[in-house]
Amino acid sequence: MTAIASPRLAAPVARRETMPFLIQVTTMTWRTLLTNIRVPAVILPPLIISGFFLLVYNSTLSGAANFFLRDQPYLGFILPLSIVSAALSGASVAGTSIVRDIESGYYDKLMLTPINRAALLLGPMIAGAILLAAQTVVVVGIALLLGLQPVTGFLGLLAVIGIALLLGVGFSGFTVGIALRTGSAAATSGASFLFFPLSFLTATFVPYELLTGWIKTAAFWNPITYILDAMRAILNLGWETDTILRGIGSCLVLGVVLFVWAYTGLRSRSKRK
Amino acid sequence: MSAQPDGEIIADGLVKRYGDFAAVDGVSFKVNTGEIFGFLGPNGAGKSTTVIMLTTLALPTSGRATVGGFDVVTQANEVRRIAGVALQEIGLDKIMKSMELLTIQGQLFGATRKQAQNRAEELLALVKLSEFVDRPVGKYSGGMRRRLDLAMALVHQPQVLFLDEPTTGLDPASRRDVWNEVRRLNRDFGITILLTTQYLEEADELADRIAIIDRGQIRVEGLPAELKAALGSESINIAFKDDESVTRAASEMAGMFDKVQIDRKTLRLYRAKAAEIIPEVVTRLNTAGLVPVALTLTAPTLDDVFLQVTGQSFEEDAKSDIKTPSADSADKKPAQRGFGRRKSA
């Protein structure tokens, strides 16, 4: 009853070589992009929110801003806020992609392959970064249409987009960490709540120097303050090295801390129990 | 370990504890290369937990297991390369299309994109989904998703296939399709298959050998026919026109059978080798002047075996028992026979 008369397949049964790590990451990135592009509901809201902020803040506050900006254009001051908002809310792409896979069971299917566990983390994060870059370009495009003239020119715009990417990728570590630890979509989308204190307990509408009391203390400890400062400097003042380096440094510190948070989440999720 | 045949599965004292609860409590068995092994038991018996340990998704609390000679704990990647797995919950990304899912899976097992695409085409033809490649998986029916999941498990040409309740939640026609596919994979490609099921009929239909697991332990193991012969009993079923004849016939048969059951107007008489006693039954009916409407002999079933070893029977209507994966919640629940927790009469 158990004897099998038919010959086995002649084809090789199990390939011993592994897909190179970089190609694993590329494959996972491509897949995350594909699934997100097919569900525009994930990527459109951050874009619409940022565009909306930009239009409304610029229209309502630009007249009143003259007294503290001393002839600096308000658009160059408020655009970084839109970009940071887009980066923080758009950073949830990686986390929501991962949690969707966990909930559907597809994550287990991937775990049954000899894939490098880090590729499961990097793929969605890089895909999130690519989508974020596209979003930022659109927001900057809207600002250009509204009359933005950065003092540092085209290079300045690239630098601003670069800082946004650095922030977005770093912050995506936060949602990814939540996704991997909880495996819950509700918890992951709830985690983007952190976006509010980060975006608003800072020099949101006026420069840091004009803040007073507890909000000034909060802004001092909020890394977003330095990131906004750096972008504003690039757009309105010029290549102010100290300010820009402080901004980049803040992105890096935030990114490293949150990446460690994401990676330990991955370790605990991948660990067989 | 290298002397082991390539498709063999060995579990040796596997235990999986979650706190104080032992989901799997010392399970040992061996599946030979090229065999279909049915792992039969009710919901929560420990079938799926055993499978996730054997497929490297969970670590055993104690005990040891090898798949194709590779240790599931220390050689997990080797096990993954030779084992195909279709879990009870279908793990497919619904936004993606079948071709994309199969290609990625193939690439992750080391195939080039072109090789993976060719393999995907082969597999889609095998599971009869070639014409649905452009449809997102979310728009597939439950049966189609099951078949695609089976194809996903076959991407890397595994020597061993683990199928965890492959037909739960399927309509009868789709269930037949899966059965045919499982038989063909085993017959044509010699793939060793470990199949868990809560359906007696499925185990009887497909498995060369079965093990019945209940409350984390294997109660009995062997060839279905042998188990039925050893532990099951044949029954003589005699139908009458009226209730009175049934009651009278039951008293006439006193002492001849292990168990006598009245089921409306039918008398069911159980004992081993019941066929040999039919002449005597007929004689007694004649003497008593009882004329039956019908007389049939029923061969022992796996339910009898299960009843013997666990003291439980299965229910005819298993609606409350059939777990439909959430992904398939829209699917029609089949009127399949499954185990229940009803104590037998």
| ipTM higher than threshold 0.95 | no
pLDDT-above-90 percentage for chain B: 42
Return the pLDDT at B273. Answer: 81
A8 falls within a domain: no
H/E stretch holding B14 reads strand B9-18
Beta-carbon contacts of B148 under 8 Å, excluding residues fewer than 6 positions away, are B92, B98, B101, B102, B127, B129, B137, B140
In angstroms, rounded to a whole number, what is the distance separating the alpha carbons of residues A49 and B234?
A: 73
* Whole-Å CA distances, B270 to A216, B243, B246, B305, B344: 87, 20, 15, 13, 14
CB contact under 8 A, B108 and A3: no
CB contact under 8 A, B93 and A9: no
Which listed CATH number (1.20.1730.10, 3.40.50.300, 3.30.420.40, 3.40.228.10) goes with B9-228? 3.40.50.300
Q: What values do phi and psi take at A5, rounded to 5?
A: -85, -35
User: How confident is the model over B45-104, as pLDDT tens digits?
Assistant: 899 999 999 999 899 999 999 999 999 999 998 899 999 999 888 889 999 999 999 999
Is some CB atom of chain A closer than 8 A to the CB atom of B94? yes
Nearest CB among B82, B89, B100 relative to A14 is that of B82
**Measured between CA atoms, how close is A111 to chain B, in angstroms?**
8
Residue of B nearest to A100 (CA): B93
Nearest CB among B77, B109, B223 relative to A15 is that of B109
The domain of A243 spans 21-270
Residue of A nearest to B17 (CA): A273
In angstroms, rounded to a whole number, what is the distance separating the alpha carbons of residues A242 and A211?
A: 21
Average pLDDT over residues B270-297: 90
User: How confident is the model over A139-174, as pLDDT tens digits?
Assistant: 999 999 988 889 999 999 999 999 999 998 888 888
Q: What values do phi and psi take at B297, rounded to 5?
A: -120, 125
Return the pLDDT at A70. Answer: 67
B157 neighbourhood in chain A, CB within 8 Å: 9, 11-14
**Interface size, chain A vs chain B, as Cβ–Cβ contacts under 8 Å:** 112
**Measured between CA atoms, how close is A192 to chain B, in angstroms?**
23
Whether A272 and B57 have beta carbons less than 8 Å apart is answered as yes
Return the pLDDT at A17. Answer: 57
Does this chain's domain B9-228 share its CATH topology with B233-298? no
In angstroms, rounded to a whole number, what is the distance separating the alpha carbons of residues B165 and B202?
A: 10
Is some CB atom of chain B closer than 8 A to the CB atom of A41? no
User: How confident is the model over A9-27, as pLDDT tens digits?
Assistant: 334 334 455 678 888 999 9
Return the pLDDT at B241. Answer: 92
CB contact under 8 A, A108 and B87: yes
The tokens of A15 are what?
């390939």
**Sequence ranges of the domains in chain B:** 9-228, 233-298
User: How confident is the model over B194-223, as pLDDT tens digits?
Assistant: 999 888 788 888 999 999 888 899 988 888
A215 falls within a domain: yes
Check whether B336 has a pLDDT greater than 50: no
Whether B45 and B27 have beta carbons less than 8 Å apart is answered as no
pLDDT-above-70 percentage for chain A: 89
Is some CB atom of chain B closer than 8 A to the CB atom of A34? yes
In angstroms, rounded to a whole number, what is the distance separating the alpha carbons of residues A213 and B118?
A: 66
**Measured between CA atoms, how close is B93 to chain A, in angstroms?**
6
Q: Using DSSP bridges, classify how beta strands B294-298 and B338-343 pair: parallel, antiparallel or unpaired.
A: unpaired
Split into its structural domains, chain A has a count of: 1
User: How confident is the model over A50-103, as pLDDT tens digits?
Assistant: 888 888 888 777 666 666 666 778 888 889 988 888 888 777 888 888 888 988
Check whether A226 has a pLDDT greater than 90: yes
Check whether A7 has a pLDDT greater than 50: no
Q: Which residues of chain A from 109 to 138 reach within 8 Å of chain B, CB to CB?
A: 109-115
User: How confident is the model over A71-84, as pLDDT tens digits?
Assistant: 778 888 889 988 88
Give, in words, the CATH class of B233-298: alpha beta
**Measured between CA atoms, how close is A16 to chain B, in angstroms?**
8
